Structure 1
Amino acid sequence: MNAVESGTVLKALETAIPKEAISQAMADTHSDKERKRTFPSHIIVCLVIAMRL
């Protein structure tokens, strides 16, 4: 079985789920925050989705 690199998976997720869609979903559910983070929220959402694959 061939392993898929994590960067490839994240790029595919970012292509499949646009940043704007994630931002809108977070705003709709009042999950957006004003804090500064190491990683932007849309990247964290993509990481969580990738963990479930």
Structure 2
Amino acid sequence: DDKKSDKADETLPVTGVDLSGFVLGASLTTAVGAITIVASRRPAQARN
């Protein structure tokens, strides 16, 4: 039973890591997308 409890406890941190990794990935994707849009707009404004 003790071993099963340990495994259950280990599952929670793993899930937390997966969630934090997903959040970080989404944040980076959003940031890169925003930077790409801003970078693509700036040259257009400069030309105009």
Task: State TM-score, norm by structure 1.
Answer: 0.26
Task: State TM-score, norm by structure 2.
Answer: 0.29
Greater C-alpha Rg: 2
Higher helix share: 2
User: Relative contact order (C-alpha < 8 Å, sep 6+): which is higher?
Assistant: 1
